[in-house]
Amino acid sequence: MRTTTLGTTDVRVTELSFGAAGIGNLFRPVTDEAASAAVEAAWDAGVRTFDTAPHYGLGLSERRLGAALRGRDRAAYTVSTKVGRLLEPRPEGGRGDDLAQGFAVPDTHRRVWDFSCDGVLRSLEASLDRLGLDRVDIALLHDPDDHAEQALTEAYPALERLRGEGVVRAIGIGVNQCALPARFLRETDIDVVLLAGRYTLLEQEGLAEVLPQAAARGRSVIVGGVFNSGLLTDPKPGAMYDYAPTPPHVLDRALRMKAVADRHAVPLRAAALRFPLGHPAVASVLSGARCAEEVRDTVDQMRRTIPAALWDELGTEGLPPHVPVPAAVPESWG
C-alpha cells in the first residue's frame, strides 16, 4: 500500500489508516475476537497506520489495539493517540454505561479535560500503559475546541518538547472544525492535522484555510469522517449526518451524488473514500472498522479505479463545487 511521510518528519503513514474508535465499542459492543480480527485484516491488506485515543471506549480501544499489534515489528507500523482527556476511576466503580458519550462500555471512569503540560505527560504515560508500547509515533491534541488557549500555551509546548526529545515523532491536532487547526497551522509548528468530516464529498470547508495552509507550509492532513457519519455509505431518509438526522437539503445532495456514482457503476462510498486523496496536503484517509468484514470492504472500495468522467460529472453538477481528481490506484494495491 502506498505510503508517504507526514510534513517534514520521517513518520510514514499508509494511504489508508485504521481508525480504532469502532473497536472501542463505538455505539455498540464489539467482542475482543472481532476487534482483533479487524486489526488483523487491516494488517493483511497492508495498512500500517493505526489511530486511537483514550476517549474511545474509556481506554478500551487503546487496550485492544495494543493487544492486536503485540508481537509485530514495532518499526513496521505507526500509531497515533491523543491527549486532552484524562481518565479517572469513579470511586463507586461505575454503575451504568458510557453510551451518553457514544461508547457501549461500563462507565468505570470519567473523562477530565486537561490540556496542561502535566495533563499531556500523564495522558501519554497512561496511553503507553494501555497500548503496551514504549512509544507512540504521533500525539494529537484531541478536540480542544473549548480549551484553545490552554492547548496553545500549555499542551502544545509540552508536545513540542516531547518531539524535540524524540519521545514522539510527530505532533498535531485532531478536530472536526476548521478555525482552530487553521490557527495552529499559523501560530505553531505542528506536523499534522487530523480533520474529521470537513473535507468530504459533502463538506469542503477545509479548502478555505486548513488544506491550503498545510500545503503551503509543507504540513500534512489526515482526513477522517469521509462518510459524514454514514450518510455517504447509503444515503436514504433516516440516515445520520454528523451524528444527527440528515437535513432534507443535505440528503438531496447526497442522493444526487449517488445517482452520478450509479451511472458510472461506482459505489458512492468508493468515491467518498478516494475523494480527499486528490488534494496534495492529504497524506491519508482514516476509516474506522469494528470487524474484519468492514475492513475488507473498505479496502475493496479503495482499490477501485474511479473514472475521471465521474469526477467531471460531479463537478459539472456542482456536487461538490471543487472536485480534484484523485491519483490512480497504485499497482501495489493489487
| Active-site annotation, residues | 56
Q: Which one-letter DSSP state was computed for residue 276?
A: G
Alpha carbon separation from 216 to 40, 82, 213, 231, 290 (Å, rounded)? 37, 25, 5, 32, 36
What is the grid cell recorded at 97?
Answer: 454505561
DSSP string, 7-76: TTSS-EEESEEEETTGGGTBSS---HHHHHHHHHHHHHTT--EEE--TTTTTTHHHHHHHHHHTTS-GGG
Query: How far apart, in whole angstroms, are the C-alpha atoms of residue 129 and residue 51?
Result: 16
Q: Judge whether 163 and 170 are in contact, CB under 8 Å.
A: yes
Q: Judge whether 45 and 295 are in contact, CB under 8 Å.
A: yes
Alpha carbon separation from 85 to 118, 140, 220, 235 (Å, rounded)? 12, 11, 24, 33
